[in-house]
Structure formats: C-alpha cells, structure tokens
C-alpha cells in the first residue's frame, strides 16, 4: 500500500439521516470484516450542540475542514467522505473519494432558493474528488451529466443489505408474527401493502393513497396499507387521507428497527415503492430478500435495482399502480415468479463485493 491510512469522514449524527448513518456503518463493518488489515480511522465529531442549526453549520463548514487538515498532516492519507452533502470537504484534502447517494435536488429540486444554492455549492465540490462513488449506474450517469465529470472519475459502487436481518427461511413467517403481532392479526383477513420510508414529496405517496382508495372503495378488496417510517396519517398527506375516508385502511407502525421492517416484509403481500426518484432504493432489495413481491415506479434507478423481481408502473398513474397491486394479490403464479426472481436479483448485491471494489478504488487513488 502506498498510503498510511484511510481517514473516514462521516456525517454529523445530528443531521438525522438514518439511511446515511446505516450506510456508513455498513461500509465500515464490511471493511473490518473483509479487509481488516486496511488502516481505517473514523473521525469523531463533537455532537453536543449539533442539533442547533447554526452550530451544525459551523461544525460542517469551519470545524470539519480544519480538523481534516490537522489529521492528515505528515501522513499519506486517503480521505473517504461518506455523503455528497458534505462535498465541500473534498477541498480539505487530496486524494479523496466521496459517496454520492443521490442528486435529487438537481433532478427534482424542492429546497428553498438559499438552501438549494448551498446544497449545489457543496455538490459542485465533488469535481475535486479523485473518485465519486455512486450507488447505482443510473446515478453515475446523472453525476457525469450534471457535474460534467469524465467517466473515469465516477464509479458505480452499489452496496448490499443486512442479510442477517433480511432473508427468507422456513421460520420467517412465524418469527415475523412474534415481532409484529398487530400486523400478523390482519394478515388472514386483509391483503397487506407494505410501504417503507419517509413522507417527503418524491416518495409519491398521494399516488399510493389514491391506489389504495381504488382497491378498497371501487374494487371492494380487503386491503390495508401498512407504513413503516414517519406516520402517514399525521403527515402532510393527512387531509388527503381524511378526504378519501381511508383512515381505517392505513396502519402506521412509525419508526421501527430493521428487524421489524423485515417482519413487515414477511407478513405483507406486496411492497409499493412509488418514488419518483431514488439513488438506490434499499427497501426494494430488503423486500425481495424477504420473498415479498415489489411494485415499483418506473423511474430513476428502480428498474436497475429491482430487476426482474418487480412490476413497474407509470409513476403518476393511479390506475396502473392499482392494477399491478391487485395482480400481486390475486395471481399466485405471478407472485411465485416475482418471489423467485427477486431472491435471485438480491444475490447481485453484497457488502463483500462492495468492500472488494472499494479496496481497489483506494489502491487506484493512492497513486494520485
């Protein structure tokens, strides 16, 4: 090795970015498990007052770059930045690699003008990275297009899932019933649609809610939508749910640990993931690993990640989504096919493959 260490720069925990925190842990655990000889040091950040916006901004913009400059002094270091929203850290040390998890605010911007400008300034600094590591080929193409980067500077490096939690075994259903008895009690009487994630605009939840209305009130099917994540009935979608009279057809689990997300996948009949835009879309693979058929929006990277183990609908078409969901309830042959192809699809992704490729990237950039 022509470097003394890898300095891993995480995001502040106070950001509250659960998926990024999980990904950081996955990357570090994979390196420790599969390449334990790699010298990795994780930067520790002061979090005591970081929940305050101005303190967080100071830590990100002033303290963090200076900390990196001090840490790399006198050592051959590769800086690994864990998220594109901290892209400004690329200016603190070269060589560096950075994970890009999405370009949502380039493709579908929904931030206020000043916040959008700040975000784009940080992301523009990715041009100083030796390698930009994207979570899908689709995102790699977007990075090249929006940031005007050469192909050699961008590397698609999709991660995996926690196979200790998300898997299928003969006892999966029984274990899931113990973990989520309130959902298990519904399974024999209702078709259950799982939805996993936040309630932000790009998740396209109004289309899911209107499809639920079609299934329940027009097609007269016994269906409930079970949501893991911030509650749906107390979100910005509350008025739509009340207007359509769907309060009794939605079950909010709230924020639950991965083990209960896996239990939801085992107990449900289909996953609806109608997002307009994802960099990767981990819930698809988690559902497939638990033998749950998926219905995904035909948008961004969804086909790339979901493969043949999913059905795809026009993102804004309520009728198309309704028909695809109904077919997953009523067509057993289709269900069996989607389950088998989903399990096969998941095998393409693993943290061991990721860590092997990341090690190769480190070796390449150490020559810079």
Q: Say yes or no: 143 and 209 in one domain.
A: no
Expressed as residue numbers, the domain containing 207 is 172-346
Q: Please, which residues bridge with residue 254 across strands? A: 228
Residue 10 covered by a domain: yes
Q: Say yes or no: 185 and 295 in one domain.
A: yes
pLDDT at 170 over 60: yes
HSE toward the beta carbon, residue 2, CA cutoff 13 A: 10
Q: Say yes or no: 141 and 201 in one domain.
A: no
Residue 166 covered by a domain: no
Beta strand 191-196 with 270-273 is parallel
Residue 336 covered by a domain: yes
Residue 140 covered by a domain: yes
Q: Say yes or no: 326 and 281 in one domain.
A: yes
Residue 167 covered by a domain: no
- Predicted confidence band at 367 (pLDDT cuts at 50, 70, 90)? confident
Helix (H, G, I), strand (E, B) or coil at 32: helix
Task: Specify the DSSP class assigned to residue 43.
Answer: P
pTM: 0.93
Helix (H, G, I), strand (E, B) or coil at 152: helix
Q: How far apart are CA 72 and CA 68, in angstroms?
A: 6
pLDDT average, residue stretch 52-61 = 95
Q: What is the pLDDT of residue 368?
A: 72
Token pair 């804004």 in the structure block, residue: 316
What is the domain-level CATH number for residue 117? 3.40.50.2000
pLDDT at 343 over 90: yes
Q: What is the pLDDT of residue 103?
A: 95
pLDDT at 1 over 60: no
Q: How far apart are CA 345 and CA 307, in angstroms?
A: 6
- Tokens coding 147: 């940031």
Handedness of CA 132, 135, 141, 142 (dihedral sign): negative
CA 246, distance to chain mean position in Å, is 28
* Cα end-to-end distance, the chain, whole Å: 13
- Is there a contact between 40 and 31 (Cβ–Cβ < 8 Å)? yes
- Is there a contact between 135 and 158 (Cβ–Cβ < 8 Å)? yes
Residue 165 covered by a domain: no
- Predicted confidence band at 2 (pLDDT cuts at 50, 70, 90)? confident
Q: Say yes or no: 338 and 358 in one domain.
A: no
Q: Say yes or no: 30 and 154 in one domain.
A: yes
Residues 172-196: pLDDT tens digits? 999 999 999 999 999 999 999 999 9
Q: Please, which residues bridge with residue 133 across strands? A: 99, 155
Residue 100 covered by a domain: yes
pLDDT average, residue stretch 195-219 = 97
Residues 237-295: pLDDT tens digits? 999 999 999 999 999 999 999 999 999 999 999 999 999 999 999 999 999 999 999 99
- In this structure, the number of other CB atoms found within 10 A of the CB of residue 20 comes to 20
Residues 91-141: pLDDT tens digits? 999 999 999 999 999 988 888 999 999 999 999 999 999 999 999 999 999
Residue 195 covered by a domain: yes
Q: Say yes or no: 151 and 139 in one domain.
A: yes
In terms of phi and psi (left: phi > 0; alpha: psi -120 to 50; beta: otherwise), the region of 133 is beta
In the chain, which ranges are E strands?
Answer: 5-9, 40-42, 77-81, 96-100, 131-134, 154-156, 191-196, 223-228, 250-254, 270-273, 294-297, 310-313
Q: Say yes or no: 246 and 187 in one domain.
A: yes
Report the mean per-residue pLDDT for the chain: 96
Residues 6-48: pLDDT tens digits? 999 999 999 999 899 999 999 999 999 999 999 999 999 999 9
Q: Say yes or no: 356 and 290 in one domain.
A: no
pLDDT average, residue stretch 46-64 = 94
- Tokens coding 155: 């590397």
Q: Say yes or no: 217 and 156 in one domain.
A: no
pLDDT average, residue stretch 300-319 = 97
Helix (H, G, I), strand (E, B) or coil at 131: strand
Q: What is the pLDDT of residue 321?
A: 98
CA-to-CA separations, 19 to 39, 113, 219, 295, 351, in angstroms, rounded: 25, 25, 36, 21, 15
Q: What is the pLDDT of residue 59?
A: 96
Q: Cis check for the bond before 95: say yes or no (omega within 30 of 0).
A: yes
- Is there a contact between 302 and 321 (Cβ–Cβ < 8 Å)? no
Q: Say yes or no: 356 and 340 in one domain.
A: no
Q: What is the pLDDT of residue 78?
A: 97
Number of domains, the chain? 2
Q: Say yes or no: 340 and 354 in one domain.
A: no
Q: Which residues are within 8 A (CB) of 107 and not within 5 positions of it... i.e. 6 or more apart?
A: 142, 146, 277, 300
């Amino acid at each position: 090795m022509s470097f003394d260490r890898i300095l891993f720069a995480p995001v502040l925990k106070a950001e509250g970015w659960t998926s990024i925190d999980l990904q950081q842990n996955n990357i570090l655990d994979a390196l420790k498990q599969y390449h334990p000889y790699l010298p990795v040091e994780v930067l520790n950040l002061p979090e005591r007052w970081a929940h305050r916006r101005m303190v967080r901004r100071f830590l990100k913009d002033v303290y963090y770059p200076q900390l990196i400059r001090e840490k790399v002094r006198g050592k051959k270091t590769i800086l690994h930045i864990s998220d594109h929203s901290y892209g400004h850290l690329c200016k603190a040390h070269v060589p560096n690699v950075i994970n890009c998890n999405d370009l949502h605010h380039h493709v579908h911007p929904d931030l206020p003008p000043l916040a959008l400008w700040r975000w784009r300034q940080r992301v523009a600094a990715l041009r100083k990275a030796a390698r930009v590591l994207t979570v899908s080929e689709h995102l790699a193409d977007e990075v090249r297009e929006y940031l005007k980067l050469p192909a050699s500077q961008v590397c698609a490096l999709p991660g995996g899932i926690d196979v200790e939690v998300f898997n299928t075994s003969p006892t999966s259903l029984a274990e899931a019933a113990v973990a989520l008895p309130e959902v298990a009690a519904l399974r024999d009487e209702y078709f259950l649609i799982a939805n996993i994630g936040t309630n932000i605009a790009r998740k396209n939840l109004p289309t899911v809610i209107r499809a639920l209305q079609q299934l329940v009130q027009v097609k007269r099917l016994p269906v409930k939508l079970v949501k893991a994540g911030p509650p749906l009935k107390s979100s910005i979608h509350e008025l739509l749910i009340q207007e359509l009279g769907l309060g009794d057809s939605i079950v909010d689990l709230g924020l639950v640990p991965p083990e209960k997300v896996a239990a939801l996948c085992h107990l449900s009949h289909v996953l609806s993931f109608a997002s307009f835009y994802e960099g990767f879309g981990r819930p698809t693979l988690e559902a497939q690993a638990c033998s749950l058929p998926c219905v995904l929006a035909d948008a961004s990277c969804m086909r790339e990640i979901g493969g043949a183990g999913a059905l795809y609908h026009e993102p804004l078409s309520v009728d198309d989504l309704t028909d695809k969901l109904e077919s997953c309830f009523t067509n057993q042959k289709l269900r069996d096919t989607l389950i088998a192809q989903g399990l096969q699809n998941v095998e393409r992704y693993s943290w061991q493959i990721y860590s092997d490729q990341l090690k190769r990237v480190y070796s390449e950039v150490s020559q810079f």
